[in-house]
Amino acid sequence: MRVLGIETSCDETAAAVVDGSRGLLSNVVSSQLHLHRKFSGIVPELASRAHLQKIASVISAACEEAGSKRLDAIAYTQGPGLMGPLLVGKVAAQTLSRILGVPLVGVNHLEGHIFATELTEELRFPLVALIVSGGHTDLVLSRGPGRYRVLGRTRDDAAGEAFDKVARMLALGYPGGPVIDRRARSGDPRAVDFPRPFMPGTWDFSFAGLKTAVLYHLQRRGGRKPEAQETDDICAAFQEAIVDTLVEKTLRAAREFKVKHVALGGGVAANSRLREMLAARGIDNGLRVVMPPRGLCTDNGAMIAQVALHRLSRRRVDKNFRSDPAMTFHSWGA
């Protein structure tokens, strides 16, 4: 079974071909970062237009790189995401599915982030997944492909959004995550004692207070621009606070639900301190922690195709399977 996965939910126009037995055959990602950088965030209208311009060439490149004309199914990101960009991917996928006469599978973007790991490693269930991206911070309990319970999510800023906003306060550019990650390596995480928003009694997250604590810290300095070393220290202390919170809640959830496996996904999963702390503390707690290679953390078509492979294989055993993209949403919220 060979699936073309199309991802256009935000600012990457992406397509990939994944083979059920041979794995990843191609993975093409066209980033729009250069278009949005000067606005310090994604402009939906610009994103839609750029997807329209790029979608055909990205799909052609993915098929060509895969070195095969055969496709057994077309998968696309159904949501969540920006409406215009999602529609571009959906129409492209529907058109290809009709022309080739192969099944069409709509995939939940967050489910995709969980399954990105499976492109290089085995996922074992039940597991607790932490999905951290520019738009989401979700803690999910999964008993197998298609079986999810969202334990908690952010009540305000997503983890990636907090990285992006703090980077903007420090005039470090957009996107903020990679640059804070890099600057933090030369900083002292104990230089500033930022709060850890653990929020006991709920699996939800909240990062708005932490972000405001960074703002107050900068204001207390009387508007003076921090020196390079001070900036590195603020980056390290902020990153430590956010990573500590994410790791602690994920490990608590694994303990509470008696789960031995933890998976990480989403753009912020590329963060070096998050990867390091989750892996180390996972070992201390007797857990198997898996995460995608850095290049598959941010949005890509391969993770979408990977979810579709599971859905299509279940079709053989599940009489109720319909090529109904909404199905994923129902199981996601259950």
CB atoms within 10 A of CB 223: 7
Q: For Zn ion, which stretch binds (CB under 5 A), given 22-30, 36-44, 95-103, 292-300?
A: 292-300
Note whether 117 binds Zn ion by CB under 5 A. no
**Residue 146 interacts with, from ligand KG4, Zn ion, none (CB under 5-8 Å by kind):** none
Nearer to ligand KG4, 164 or 240 (CB): 164
Q: Which two tokens stand for residue 2?
A: 């060979």
- Say whether 141 sits in a helix, a strand or coil: strand
Note whether 299 binds Zn ion by CB under 5 A. yes
Closest CA to 114 of 126, 129, 92, 132: 129
Q: Shortest Cβ distance from residue 112 to Zn ion (Å)? A: 8
Reduced 3-state DSSP string for 53-93: HHHHHHHHHHHHHHCCCCCCEEEEEEECCCHHHHHHHHHHH
- Measured CA distances, 270 to 103, 147, 216 (Å): 32, 25, 28
Q: Shortest Cβ distance from residue 110 to Zn ion (Å)? A: 8
Q: For Zn ion, which stretch binds (CB under 5 A), given 170-178, 196-204, 236-244, 295-303?
A: 295-303
Nearer to ligand KG4, 134 or 282 (CB): 134
Nearer to ligand KG4, 73 or 172 (CB): 172
Residues near ligand KG4 (CB under 6 A): 10, 133-135, 160, 163-164, 175-178, 181, 266-268, 270-271, 298-299
Question: Which residues neighbour 138 within 8 Å (Cβ) at sequence distance 6 or greater?
Answer: 110, 129, 130, 131, 150, 152, 153, 154
The footprint of Zn ion on residues 120-149 (CB under 5 A) is 133
Whole-number Å distance between alpha carbons of 319 and 109: 25
**Residue 189 interacts with, from Zn ion, ligand KG4, none (CB under 5-8 Å by kind):** none
Q: Shortest Cβ distance from residue 146 to ligand KG4 (Å)? A: 21
Closest residue by beta carbon to Zn ion? 133
Nearer to Zn ion, 111 or 299 (CB): 299
Nearer to ligand KG4, 160 or 189 (CB): 160
Q: Shortest Cβ distance from residue 274 to ligand KG4 (Å)? A: 7
Tell me which DSSP letter residue 226 carries.
P
First to last CA, the chain: 29
Q: Shortest Cβ distance from residue 21 to Zn ion (Å)? A: 27
Whole-number Å distance between alpha carbons of 113 and 300: 9
Nearer to ligand KG4, 131 or 312 (CB): 131
Nearer to ligand KG4, 115 or 312 (CB): 115
**Quick check: 157 and 207 in contact, CB under 8 A?**
yes
- Measured CA distances, 42 to 8, 167, 188 (Å): 13, 15, 31
Question: Which residues neighbour 277 within 8 Å (Cβ) at sequence distance 6 or greater?
Answer: 243, 244, 247
Q: Shortest Cβ distance from residue 266 to ligand KG4 (Å)? A: 5
Q: Shortest Cβ distance from residue 279 to Zn ion (Å)? A: 21
**Residues of the shown chain interacting with Zn ion in the complex, contacts defined by CB under 5 A:** 133, 299
